[in-house]
Structure 1
Amino acid sequence: METKTKESPITQRTLDLCQAIVDQSDFQALKQKIDDFMNNELLKFDYQQLNGLGDLLRMKQGQGLELKPEEIAQFETLREKFMNDPVAQGFLDAQDQLAQLHETVSRFLNKTFELGRRPEYEDVHDGSCGNCNCH
Protein backbone atom coordinates (compact mmCIF):
# COMPACT_ATOMS: atom_id res chain seq x y z
CA MET A 1 0.00 0.00 0.00
CA GLU A 2 1.63 3.19 -1.17
CA THR A 3 1.57 6.03 1.36
CA LYS A 4 4.77 7.90 0.63
CA THR A 5 3.71 9.77 -2.47
CA LYS A 6 1.72 12.95 -2.63
CA GLU A 7 -0.76 11.35 -5.01
CA SER A 8 -1.60 8.25 -2.96
CA PRO A 9 -5.23 8.00 -1.82
CA ILE A 10 -4.15 7.52 1.80
CA THR A 11 -2.00 10.64 1.70
CA GLN A 12 -4.77 12.66 0.05
CA ARG A 13 -7.43 11.55 2.55
CA THR A 14 -5.06 12.18 5.45
CA LEU A 15 -4.45 15.67 4.14
CA ASP A 16 -8.23 16.13 3.85
CA LEU A 17 -8.61 15.10 7.51
CA CYS A 18 -5.87 17.53 8.51
CA GLN A 19 -7.61 20.31 6.60
CA ALA A 20 -10.96 19.48 8.22
CA ILE A 21 -9.32 19.75 11.63
CA VAL A 22 -7.63 23.10 11.00
CA ASP A 23 -10.80 24.50 9.39
CA GLN A 24 -12.66 24.15 12.69
CA SER A 25 -13.00 27.50 14.45
CA ASP A 26 -12.38 25.77 17.77
CA PHE A 27 -9.06 24.48 16.48
CA GLN A 28 -7.95 27.95 15.47
CA ALA A 29 -8.84 29.28 18.92
CA LEU A 30 -6.86 26.46 20.57
CA LYS A 31 -3.90 27.12 18.28
CA GLN A 32 -4.02 30.79 19.22
CA LYS A 33 -3.90 29.92 22.94
CA ILE A 34 -0.82 27.78 22.35
CA ASP A 35 0.79 30.51 20.24
CA ASP A 36 0.07 33.09 22.96
CA PHE A 37 1.88 30.88 25.47
CA MET A 38 4.78 30.11 23.12
CA ASN A 39 5.33 33.83 22.51
CA ASN A 40 5.61 34.55 26.25
CA GLU A 41 9.20 33.78 27.26
CA LEU A 42 8.65 34.48 30.96
CA LEU A 43 5.65 32.18 31.12
CA LYS A 44 7.54 29.42 29.31
CA PHE A 45 10.39 29.84 31.82
CA ASP A 46 7.93 29.59 34.72
CA TYR A 47 6.47 26.44 33.16
CA GLN A 48 9.92 24.88 32.83
CA GLN A 49 10.75 25.80 36.43
CA LEU A 50 7.49 24.32 37.66
CA ASN A 51 7.98 21.10 35.72
CA GLY A 52 11.61 20.80 36.76
CA LEU A 53 10.83 21.25 40.43
CA GLY A 54 7.89 18.86 40.16
CA ASP A 55 10.14 16.24 38.57
CA LEU A 56 12.73 16.71 41.31
CA LEU A 57 10.15 16.34 44.06
CA ARG A 58 8.68 13.21 42.45
CA MET A 59 12.16 11.73 42.09
CA LYS A 60 12.98 12.42 45.74
CA GLN A 61 9.66 10.98 46.83
CA GLY A 62 10.17 7.91 44.63
CA GLN A 63 13.53 7.32 46.29
CA GLY A 64 11.95 7.53 49.71
CA LEU A 65 13.60 10.85 50.55
CA GLU A 66 11.82 13.35 52.72
CA LEU A 67 10.48 16.43 51.00
CA LYS A 68 11.38 19.62 52.82
CA PRO A 69 8.50 21.97 53.64
CA GLU A 70 10.27 24.83 51.84
CA GLU A 71 10.55 22.70 48.67
CA ILE A 72 6.84 21.98 48.77
CA ALA A 73 6.07 25.64 49.48
CA GLN A 74 8.28 26.72 46.57
CA PHE A 75 6.48 24.29 44.26
CA GLU A 76 3.06 25.46 45.43
CA THR A 77 4.04 29.11 44.97
CA LEU A 78 5.27 28.46 41.42
CA ARG A 79 2.20 26.38 40.64
CA GLU A 80 -0.23 28.98 41.99
CA LYS A 81 1.50 31.79 40.07
CA PHE A 82 1.40 29.78 36.86
CA MET A 83 -2.18 28.58 37.26
CA ASN A 84 -3.45 32.10 37.96
CA ASP A 85 -2.14 33.39 34.65
CA PRO A 86 -4.92 33.46 32.01
CA VAL A 87 -2.48 32.69 29.18
CA ALA A 88 -1.20 29.67 31.12
CA GLN A 89 -4.77 28.52 31.78
CA GLY A 90 -5.56 28.87 28.09
CA PHE A 91 -2.44 26.92 27.16
CA LEU A 92 -3.24 24.05 29.52
CA ASP A 93 -6.85 23.97 28.34
CA ALA A 94 -5.75 23.96 24.70
CA GLN A 95 -3.25 21.17 25.35
CA ASP A 96 -5.97 19.10 27.01
CA GLN A 97 -8.47 19.64 24.20
CA LEU A 98 -5.92 18.90 21.49
CA ALA A 99 -4.89 15.74 23.33
CA GLN A 100 -8.56 14.68 23.38
CA LEU A 101 -8.83 15.37 19.64
CA HIS A 102 -5.68 13.36 19.00
CA GLU A 103 -7.05 10.52 21.13
CA THR A 104 -10.35 10.51 19.23
CA VAL A 105 -8.66 10.40 15.82
CA SER A 106 -6.31 7.68 17.07
CA ARG A 107 -9.21 5.61 18.38
CA PHE A 108 -10.90 5.70 14.98
CA LEU A 109 -7.69 4.79 13.17
CA ASN A 110 -6.87 2.00 15.61
CA LYS A 111 -10.39 0.63 15.32
CA THR A 112 -10.07 0.67 11.52
CA PHE A 113 -6.97 -1.52 11.72
CA GLU A 114 -8.61 -3.76 14.32
CA LEU A 115 -11.86 -4.29 12.40
CA GLY A 116 -10.46 -4.17 8.88
CA ARG A 117 -13.20 -1.75 7.86
CA ARG A 118 -14.37 1.79 8.45
CA PRO A 119 -15.62 1.88 12.03
CA GLU A 120 -19.02 3.20 12.96
CA TYR A 121 -19.32 5.75 15.73
CA GLU A 122 -20.64 3.04 18.05
CA ASP A 123 -17.57 0.87 17.37
CA VAL A 124 -15.36 3.54 18.86
CA HIS A 125 -17.68 4.98 21.50
CA ASP A 126 -18.99 2.09 23.53
CA GLY A 127 -21.54 4.10 25.49
CA SER A 128 -19.13 5.81 27.83
CA CYS A 129 -18.24 9.43 27.37
CA GLY A 130 -14.58 8.49 27.39
CA ASN A 131 -13.53 11.19 29.79
CA CYS A 132 -14.78 10.33 33.23
CA ASN A 133 -15.37 6.57 33.44
CA CYS A 134 -18.92 7.33 34.55
CA HIS A 135 -20.51 4.53 32.49
Structure 2
Amino acid sequence: MKMLADNSPVMDKTKELCSAIADDPEYRSLMEKVERFMEDDAAKLQFQSVQERSQELGQKQQSGLELSVGEVEDFENAREALMGNSVAREFMDAQQILQSVQTAIGKYVGMTLELGRVPAEEDLADQGGCCSEGGCGCG
Protein backbone atom coordinates (compact mmCIF):
# COMPACT_ATOMS: atom_id res chain seq x y z
CA MET A 1 0.00 0.00 0.00
CA LYS A 2 1.62 3.20 -1.21
CA MET A 3 -0.09 5.33 1.44
CA LEU A 4 1.95 3.52 4.11
CA ALA A 5 5.26 3.57 2.24
CA ASP A 6 8.05 5.02 4.35
CA ASN A 7 8.37 8.21 2.29
CA SER A 8 4.69 8.73 1.43
CA PRO A 9 3.00 12.03 2.31
CA VAL A 10 0.81 10.25 4.88
CA MET A 11 3.79 8.68 6.64
CA ASP A 12 5.74 11.95 6.46
CA LYS A 13 2.87 13.76 8.21
CA THR A 14 2.53 10.92 10.71
CA LYS A 15 6.21 11.25 11.58
CA GLU A 16 5.78 15.02 11.80
CA LEU A 17 2.89 14.55 14.25
CA CYS A 18 4.94 12.10 16.31
CA SER A 19 7.83 14.56 16.38
CA ALA A 20 5.53 17.40 17.48
CA ILE A 21 4.20 15.23 20.31
CA ALA A 22 7.67 14.11 21.41
CA ASP A 23 8.96 17.71 21.37
CA ASP A 24 5.98 19.17 23.24
CA PRO A 25 6.96 20.53 26.68
CA GLU A 26 3.75 19.27 28.30
CA TYR A 27 4.36 15.77 26.90
CA ARG A 28 7.93 15.83 28.22
CA SER A 29 6.68 16.89 31.64
CA LEU A 30 4.15 14.05 31.66
CA MET A 31 6.83 11.55 30.68
CA GLU A 32 9.09 12.82 33.48
CA LYS A 33 6.28 12.02 35.93
CA VAL A 34 5.92 8.53 34.45
CA GLU A 35 9.69 7.96 34.64
CA ARG A 36 9.82 9.23 38.24
CA PHE A 37 7.11 6.70 39.14
CA MET A 38 8.88 3.88 37.28
CA GLU A 39 12.04 4.56 39.30
CA ASP A 40 10.17 4.53 42.63
CA ASP A 41 9.79 0.89 43.69
CA ALA A 42 7.73 1.76 46.76
CA ALA A 43 5.23 3.79 44.71
CA LYS A 44 4.99 1.02 42.10
CA LEU A 45 4.36 -1.60 44.79
CA GLN A 46 1.74 0.60 46.46
CA PHE A 47 0.02 1.23 43.11
CA GLN A 48 0.09 -2.45 42.16
CA SER A 49 -1.27 -3.49 45.55
CA VAL A 50 -4.24 -1.11 45.27
CA GLN A 51 -4.92 -2.22 41.68
CA GLU A 52 -4.85 -5.89 42.63
CA ARG A 53 -7.09 -5.33 45.65
CA SER A 54 -9.54 -3.38 43.50
CA GLN A 55 -9.72 -6.27 41.05
CA GLU A 56 -10.17 -8.81 43.85
CA LEU A 57 -13.02 -6.84 45.40
CA GLY A 58 -14.62 -6.28 41.99
CA GLN A 59 -14.50 -10.00 41.22
CA LYS A 60 -15.96 -10.79 44.61
CA GLN A 61 -18.87 -8.41 43.97
CA GLN A 62 -19.44 -9.78 40.46
CA SER A 63 -19.70 -13.28 41.85
CA GLY A 64 -22.53 -12.10 44.08
CA LEU A 65 -20.64 -11.91 47.36
CA GLU A 66 -21.02 -8.91 49.62
CA LEU A 67 -18.00 -6.93 50.67
CA SER A 68 -17.51 -6.54 54.39
CA VAL A 69 -17.27 -3.10 55.94
CA GLY A 70 -13.68 -3.93 56.89
CA GLU A 71 -12.74 -4.85 53.33
CA VAL A 72 -14.18 -1.62 51.99
CA GLU A 73 -12.52 0.46 54.71
CA ASP A 74 -9.16 -1.26 54.17
CA PHE A 75 -9.38 -0.64 50.43
CA GLU A 76 -10.42 3.00 50.88
CA ASN A 77 -7.55 3.57 53.30
CA ALA A 78 -5.07 2.02 50.88
CA ARG A 79 -6.47 4.07 48.00
CA GLU A 80 -6.32 7.29 50.02
CA ALA A 81 -2.72 6.52 50.98
CA LEU A 82 -1.92 5.95 47.31
CA MET A 83 -3.50 9.27 46.37
CA GLY A 84 -1.44 10.88 49.12
CA ASN A 85 1.74 9.65 47.44
CA SER A 86 2.62 12.52 45.09
CA VAL A 87 4.73 10.33 42.79
CA ALA A 88 1.90 7.82 42.32
CA ARG A 89 -0.77 10.52 42.00
CA GLU A 90 1.22 12.44 39.38
CA PHE A 91 1.78 9.17 37.50
CA MET A 92 -1.94 8.40 37.46
CA ASP A 93 -2.75 11.95 36.34
CA ALA A 94 -0.11 11.74 33.59
CA GLN A 95 -1.46 8.37 32.44
CA GLN A 96 -4.96 9.78 32.19
CA ILE A 97 -3.83 12.81 30.17
CA LEU A 98 -1.70 10.69 27.82
CA GLN A 99 -4.64 8.33 27.28
CA SER A 100 -6.89 11.31 26.51
CA VAL A 101 -4.39 12.63 23.95
CA GLN A 102 -4.14 9.20 22.31
CA THR A 103 -7.93 8.85 22.22
CA ALA A 104 -8.45 12.33 20.79
CA ILE A 105 -5.87 11.84 18.04
CA GLY A 106 -7.24 8.39 17.23
CA LYS A 107 -10.77 9.73 17.02
CA TYR A 108 -9.71 12.61 14.79
CA VAL A 109 -7.86 10.28 12.40
CA GLY A 110 -10.67 7.72 12.54
CA MET A 111 -13.25 10.33 11.61
CA THR A 112 -11.04 11.49 8.74
CA LEU A 113 -10.95 7.94 7.38
CA GLU A 114 -14.70 7.59 7.91
CA LEU A 115 -15.71 10.96 6.42
CA GLY A 116 -13.09 11.18 3.69
CA ARG A 117 -12.15 14.68 4.83
CA VAL A 118 -10.76 16.51 7.82
CA PRO A 119 -13.51 16.56 10.46
CA ALA A 120 -14.99 19.95 11.24
CA GLU A 121 -15.65 21.01 14.80
CA GLU A 122 -19.34 20.21 14.24
CA ASP A 123 -18.43 16.63 13.27
CA LEU A 124 -16.57 16.20 16.52
CA ALA A 125 -19.31 17.92 18.52
CA ASP A 126 -21.89 15.54 17.02
CA GLN A 127 -19.86 12.71 18.51
CA GLY A 128 -19.38 14.37 21.88
CA GLY A 129 -15.97 15.82 20.97
CA CYS A 130 -12.58 14.16 21.13
CA CYS A 131 -12.84 13.71 24.85
CA SER A 132 -16.61 13.14 25.03
CA GLU A 133 -16.92 16.57 26.64
CA GLY A 134 -17.96 18.35 23.44
CA GLY A 135 -16.27 20.92 21.26
CA CYS A 136 -12.85 19.25 21.28
CA GLY A 137 -11.16 21.88 23.38
CA CYS A 138 -9.31 19.06 25.17
CA GLY A 139 -6.93 20.50 27.61
* TM interval, short-chain normalised: 0.7 to 0.9
Aligned pairs for 1:1-135 within 5 A: 1-2=1-2, 5-126=5-126, 130-132=131-133
Structure 1 residue 88, shift from structure 2 partner: 1.3
Indicate the RMSD between aligned Cα atoms, in angstroms.
2.0
The CA deviation string for residues 82-115 of structure 1, in whole angstroms up to 9 with x for no partner, is 0001111111111111111111101110111111
Structure 1 residue 55, shift from structure 2 partner: 0.5
Structure 1 residue 40, shift from structure 2 partner: 0.7
CA distance, structure 1, for counterparts of residue 113 and residue 102 of structure 2: 17
Counterpart code for 1:80: E
Distance 1:131 1:89, change over 3 A: farther
Structure 1 residue 132, shift from structure 2 partner: 4.4
Structure 1 residue 33, shift from structure 2 partner: 0.8
Q: Which has the higher contact order (CA 8 A, sep 6+)?
A: 1
CA distance, structure 2, for counterparts of residue 103 and residue 5 of structure 1: 25
Counterpart code for 1:25: P
How many percent identity over aligned positions?
Answer: 33
Q: Tell me how many residue pairs correspond in the alignment.
A: 133
